[in-house]
Amino acid sequence: MEFAGKVVLVTGGSRGIGAATVRAILSRGGSVVIHFGSNEAAARRLAEEAGAGKCHLVSCDLGEPGATDQLWREAVSWMGRIDVLVNNAGIFLTEDQMGSDEDWRALWARTLQINLISTADLCRNAVNHWTEEGVGGAIVNVSSRAAFRGDSPDHWSYAASKGGIVSLTKTLARAYSSDGIYSYCVAPGFVPTDMAQAEFDKDPGLRERLLQEVPYGDFAPAEEIANAICFFAAGLATHATGQTLDINGASYVR
Ligand code: NAP
């Protein structure tokens, strides 16, 4: 897998799967726009690891409707183009179905805005840009096992947002593959990042219970998800456009 000469935008590149993806692309010769939300220090450390000129940092709160337009403009202005978009940033909020209507609606709106709508907005930015320039490009969207299996009883909105990403990706593949614009998903099971750790912290027995559901015997590390993202992003299997690669230790085999 080779990224020399390619410019890749990774959302949520400051931590977890996003940071592993940034490292994987850099180690294969690519240049990376690292998007971050609140964690500038972590994003800056990654850029410093990479060395001068290899990364460009852009902050954007994806919870803000429409904010991706500015993010995309800043990302493109660094090198004059983006070749690959990796929509990785996401949140995993816990619902309380018995709580107030107001809280319920606010949580659904936030989850859909950050996980799904900002992803769709950036896909639109990318597709319009590539179409105007008359060039191809690749999009890799990070979905989840939850899109296919469903999630725990208090994560309806998370599962729905990740299902939306899968159908969005299929639609883009059908619409634009003849223009050289390819779209893919990766769907991880549990991955030991801050997102997962926050759940383990709430429930000390959770890690062991979840492990029992994984025949492989361990959770996939963020680096394996990053490798799968790179496989698609590098253009090694463009006829797989529209497809999702599951990485979950056989915990949910479709
Ligand atoms: P993580 O460690 O919690 O990192 C989340 C990333 O998203 C951070 O870089 C964060 O940026 C960014 N982000 C969150 N809210 C944001 C906002 N409002 N505006 C801008 N950026 C925001 O998560 P992860 O585990 O690496 O997850 C990455 C992706 O994989 C997500 O889409 C997640 O749903 C998916 N996934 C994860 C798992 C898992 O078990 N970990 C399983 C399946 C799918 P800052 O830190 O800079 O704010």
Q: What is the pLDDT of residue 237?
A: 97
**Ligand 1 center to 87 CA (angstroms):** 10
Secondary structure of the chain as H, E, C letters = CCCCCCEEEECCCCCHHHHHHHHHHHHCCCEEEEEECCCHHHHHHHHHHHCCCCEEEEECCCCCCCCHHHHHHHHHHHHCCCCEEEECCCCCCCCCCCCCHHHHHHHHHHHHHHHHHHHHHHHHHHHHHHHHHCCCEEEEEECCCHHHHCCCCCCHHHHHHHHHHHHHHHHHHHHHHHHCEEEEEEEECCCCCHHHHHHHHHCCCHHHHHHHCCCCCCCCCHHHHHHHHHHHHCCCCHHHCCCEEEECCCCCCC
Q: What is the pLDDT of residue 43?
A: 97
**Ligand 1 center to 62 CA (angstroms):** 11
pTM: 0.98
Q: What is the pLDDT of residue 1?
A: 81
Q: 158, 176, 182, 184: which one is catalytic?
A: 158
- Per-residue pLDDT in tens (0 to 9) along the chain, 254 residues: 899 999 999 999 999 999 999 999 999 999 999 999 999 999 999 999 999 999 999 999 999 999 999 999 999 999 999 999 999 999 999 999 999 999 999 999 999 999 999 999 999 999 999 999 999 999 999 999 999 999 999 999 999 999 999 999 999 999 999 999 999 999 999 999 999 899 999 998 999 999 999 999 999 999 999 999 999 999 999 999 999 999 999 999 99
Q: What is the pLDDT of residue 155?
A: 97
Q: What is the pLDDT of residue 102?
A: 98
Residues with CB under 6 A from ligand 1: 12, 14-18, 36-39, 60-63, 88-92, 114, 142, 144, 188, 190-191, 193-196
Mutating to test ligand 1, I would choose from 35, 59, 88 the residue with most ligand atoms within 8 A of its C-beta, which is 88
